[in-house]
Structure 1
Amino acid sequence: MLVHFRLTTPVAMSDAVRDFLLDNHSITNLTVQPGAVVKPAGDLIECDVAREHAGEVLTCLRDLGVHEQGGIVITAPTGTPFETARQLEADAPGHPDDAVIWESVEGQAEAGAVPTLSFHVFLVIAVALAGIAVVTDSAVLVIGAMVVGPEFSAIASVCAGIVLGRWGLVGRSLRLLVLSFAFAIFVVTLMALVAHGTGLLTDADVSRPRPNTGFIWHPDAWSFVVALFAGAAGALALAIERSATMVGVFISVTTVPAAGNLALGIAVWDQGEILGSLAQLGANVAGMVIAGSLLLLLVRTTWPWLVAHSERIFGSGQARAR
């Protein structure tokens, strides 16, 4: 698959940009429209690039100063059914699905560290659902709470910040995680206190044996192992932009259910439930951050080499050539 570059450049810069793109063998459909841009005034340059080389092209454009004096917009077309596109994909090392555009990763990480209203609302709803799952001992509701929870975007931002050396991003992401979970637990605790005061929730609802949801506050070695694998999967999905894979990550780890159980434990003041939930929450977040950071570091350092050599192992190049 190709990606489409739409560049707006000052007139004085257009020749240098045009010459660079013209000499690049991973580019096709290069068009230049002098004076087409009104605000800011300049030229419009567009081209299609093999996704595997998009990161390199973007780096060179930034070196030319296009991102400072002009504009860069990258989009992914729904399809490129023409022979030149097929040839560019076949010539590029690896498979387009494995290509990583680090500027896109950084952009997604920045977005994941923003404390939006919707983030907090989704987390409150997820923690509330997890609390109800504890009371009803419903594994189905636990899964629902996991899917609704938005917290992995902030965890992925922590991982990306560590690997990219963006410590400000790491700090903003960790702050979002801590404050958003604290807020969600506080709100659900208030709800639980109201339910407890009206008799809708009893101490036994929280402390009784729960065969379907007891694992929420009983962390063990496997909880950490699952968090490691989930963090690695989520980080890789972030890097290669596989949003559908994120759903599997969301339903793998019990961060949100642990937070819901913690809120109920505070409401009925069951110290065992409180400490167990905190341990589960901490182990999951720590495991995902460790594995996610290591996976992104692997992608950052050796992924291009692995992608290029994967064609020899999996035969992806021959499959595309057909």
Structure 2
Amino acid sequence: MIRLRALCPESETGLVDKVLDVLANEPGAAHVVRLSGVMVDPPGDVVEADIARESVDGVLEALRGFDCGQRGGIVLETLDTVVSDAADRAEEAAPGEGVDAVVWDELLARTGQGSRLSVTFVVMLTIACLLAAVGVVTNSPVTVVGAMVLGPEFGPLAALAVAAVRWDGPKARSAGVALGAGFAIAVAVTALAAAGAEAIALIPEDVLTNLSGVAFIYQVGPFSLVVALLAGVAGMVALIAGESTGVLVGVFISVTTVPAAGFAAVAAVIGDWGRALSSLLQLAVNVAGVVLAGLVVLVLVRHSRQRRGLPDSLPAGRRDR
């Protein structure tokens, strides 16, 4: 279930009563509580309720109908464990299955957090590329897999898919800048590090002749796209369902983005431009595959909800704040 907290300033006359009416008419809501006078700045009331996941989007649509978010505020919090007969009855009364429900505001928040160019994003992506380069030089698949897990690039990739389905230009630009600038910086730093290692003879001249363990990084084929598509579907489904990072780790390991960037940097420094370009192609194929798969999943989800007459509460083009 998801806990909803509606903030109702006393200056917004009638807001708290409207919120209570929405929750009273929602069969998927339980444990409705009104906390009178607990808000400090501005003064007002707080209304809380535990809502079945599949009912959250409908409740948000109703609250958005009278600008609850603008006049006051709305906070959502995922509840891992709720021991309550009332909560069980609410989940049974709500249409569909909670694991299949999409909460657009939650999805936008989760993808929005990782779609911006930040120091943390660049540092993590750079370290992942450096690890991938070490994996290439040492022919170590384990190190390459570690780089895959560490890479933070799935956030902007998922954000691009969400932005496309919502026609959200600012979000798409933010995610695109994060990916473009992030990979450019990571590859440049990795290339400088590789050049420094080569200068002090840490990289043997025949480093790219024995690649039995990591050849998959630059070898582009039909299965490169297949794996990227499958990983994109799994990743987006996990985000929609609010799954833990355990599922996403499997997605990270499946996608050859960071390793391809790291391999391209090493190959360019060594002067093997054929493999460098092949690695960049692998990177492009994986990026396109993940975004396309995520977009298809979201389109199918929206179509399914519209066919079943369920609300699609988030207006197109809304930007995550």
Q: TM-score, normalised by structure 1?
A: 0.91
Give the corresponding residue for 1:253: 255
Matches of 1:77 and 1:283 in 2, distance apart? Answer: 37
**Counterparts of 2:161 and 2:117 in 1: how far apart (Å)?**
17
> Residues of 2 paired with 1:238 and 1:117: CA distance?
24
Question: What CA distance in whole angstroms lies between the structure 1 residues aligned with 2:214 and 2:80?
Answer: 42
Whether 2:123 is the aligned partner of 1:121: answer yes
- How far apart in 2 are the matches of 1:277 and 1:203? 19
Separation in 2 of the partners of 1:103 and 1:143? 32
Aligned counterpart in structure 1 of residue 73 of structure 2, from 67, 71, 74 = 71
Give the secondary-structure state (helix, strand or coil) at the position aligned to 1:210.
coil
Q: Which residue of 2 aligns with 1:311?
A: none
Alignment counterpart, residue 96 of structure 1, candidates 74, 88, 98: 98
Count matched residues: 305
Shift of residue 91, structure 1, vs aligned partner: 2.0
- 1:236 matched to which residue of 2? 237
Partner of 1:81: 83
2:6 alignment counterpart? 7
Residues 288, 51 of structure 1: alpha-carbon distance in 2 compared, 3 angstrom cutoff = same
Is the counterpart of residue 22 in structure 1 residue 24 in structure 2? Answer: yes
Query: Residues 175-214 of structure 1 correspond to what in structure 2 (within 5 A)?
Result: 175-205=177-207, 207-214=208-215
Per the alignment, residue 160 of structure 2 pairs with 158
Are the aligned partners of 2:132 and 2:262 in contact in 1 as well (CA < 8 Å)?
yes
Aligned partner of residue 278 in structure 1, secondary structure: helix
> Alpha-carbon deviations, 1:148-191, whole Å to 9, x = none?
11101110000010011112111111111011001000001000
Equivalents in 1 of 2:306, 2:81: separation in Å? 24
- 1:80-124 residue CA offsets vs partner (Å, 9 max, x unmatched): 111111111122222222221101111122212111222111111
Shift of 1:140: 0.9
In the alignment, is the contact (CA less than 8 A) between 1:17 and 1:64 conserved in 2? no
Supply the AA of the counterpart residue of 2:116: V
Q: Distance in 2 between matches of 1:193 and 1:287?
A: 31
Tell me the CA shift for residue 31 of structure 1. Answer: 1.8
CA contact (8 A) 1:134 1:213 kept: yes
The one of 290, 293, 310 equivalent to 2:292 is 290
Q: Indicate the residue corresponding to 1:58 in structure 2.
A: 60
8 Å contact from structure 2 (residues 154, 252) kept in 1: yes
1:36 pairs, out of 33, 38, 47, with 38
**1:320 is matched with which residue?**
none
Q: Cα RMSD over matched residues?
A: 1.6
- Checking the alignment, whether the CA contact within 8 Å between 1:147 and 1:247 is kept in structure 2 is yes
Match of 1:141 in 2: 143
What is the aligned partner in structure 2 of residue 219 from structure 1?
Answer: 220
Q: What pairs up with 1:269-284 in 2 under 5 angstroms?
A: 269-284=271-286
- Contact 2:27 / 2:94 at 8 angstroms: preserved in 1? no
Aligned counterparts of 2:167 and 2:241: Cα–Cα separation in 1: 20
How far apart are the structure 1 equivalents of 2:2 and 2:38?
A: 22
Q: Which residue of 2 aligns with 1:171?
A: 173
Aligned to 1:45: 47
Please state how far the C-alpha of 1:18 moved relative to its aligned partner.
1.7
Q: CA deviation at 1:36?
A: 2.1
For residue 303 of structure 1, report the CA deviation from its aligned partner: 5.0
- Tell me which residue corresponds to 1:317: none
| Matched position secondary structure for 2:206 | helix
- Contact 2:149–2:249 (CA<8 Å) still a contact in 1? yes
SS in 2 for 1:204: coil
| Mapped partners of 2:205, 2:184: distance in 1 | 22
Unpaired segments ≥5 residues, structure 1: 309-322
Cα displacement string for residues 7-33 of structure 1 (whole angstroms, at most 9, x for unaligned residues):
111231222222222222222221223
Distance 1:141 1:303, change over 3 A: farther
Q: Give the Cα–Cα distance (whole angstroms) in 1 for the partners of residues 215 and 27 of structure 2.
A: 58
CA contact 1:109–1:161 (8 Å) conserved in 2: no
Counterpart-to-counterpart distance in 2, 1:25 and 1:88: 6
User: Partner amino acid for 1:232?
Assistant: V
Percent of residue pairs identical: 37
What is the distance in 1 between the residues matched to 2:307 and 2:128?
Answer: 40
| Higher helix proportion | 1
Counterpart-to-counterpart distance in 1, 2:92 and 2:18: 28
Structure 2 alignment gaps of length 5 or more: 311-321
TM-score by length of structure 2 reads: 0.91
Q: Take 1:285 and 1:236, find their aligned partners in 2: how far apart are those partners?
A: 17
